[in-house]
Amino acid sequence: MSRLNVLVVVLSVSLVSGCASTRTAVAPNSPTWAPRQTQVDERYVSYVNALAKQRGTRVYWVNPPLKTVTGPIAAR
């Protein structure tokens, strides 16, 4: 076997073993999901509605703005 063939085999093996071990290196103990809920951002909606009323227009919310709310981990 020539030196070039040995070099190609060694590089290939090192790349494959490196790719196989990246999952645990990135996030060893992180949870796959976090308990989150979304709800309408009432503060922003009321701000925009008040501003529109001052200008003599009306807002129709098709997709109201949402905010992410983190809830308790367990209900008691």
Supply the pTM of this predicted model: 0.47
Question: Any idea what DSSP says for residue 37?
Answer: E
At 25-55, the pLDDT tens digits run: 555 565 556 667 889 999 999 999 999 999 9
In whole angstroms, give the CA distance from residue 46 to residue 48: 6
**Is residue 32 a contact partner of residue 52, using CB atoms and an 8 Å limit?**
no
At 6-23, the pLDDT tens digits run: 888 777 777 776 665 555
